[in-house]
Amino acid sequence: MTEEFIGCIEEELKEIELFYEENGVEVEAYTLHNGSFFSICC
């Protein structure tokens, strides 16, 4: 993986966490489940 790709994932995770925290949803289980957050990135 490139640093750029990893940086993108980290940024997306921050946005996802903020969104779900605001809506009272557990974030960790979502983001870690089968690496599903990769499909959201870039």
Radius of gyration of the chain (CA): 10
Cβ–Cβ under 8 Å, residues 20 and 27: yes
The model's pLDDT over 1-26, given as tens digits with 9 standing for 90+, comes to 677 877 777 788 788 777 777 776 66
Sketch the domain layout of the chain as residue ranges: 3-35
pLDDT reported for residue 41: 42
pLDDT reported for residue 14: 81
Q: Count Cβ atoms below 10 Å from residue 3 Cβ, excluding itself.
A: 7
Q: Which two tokens stand for residue 40?
A: 């959201």
pLDDT reported for residue 19: 77
Cα angle 18, 11, 40; round to 5: 85
Mean pLDDT of 17-39: 62
- When pLDDT is cut at 50, 70 and 90, the band that residue 42 belongs to is very low
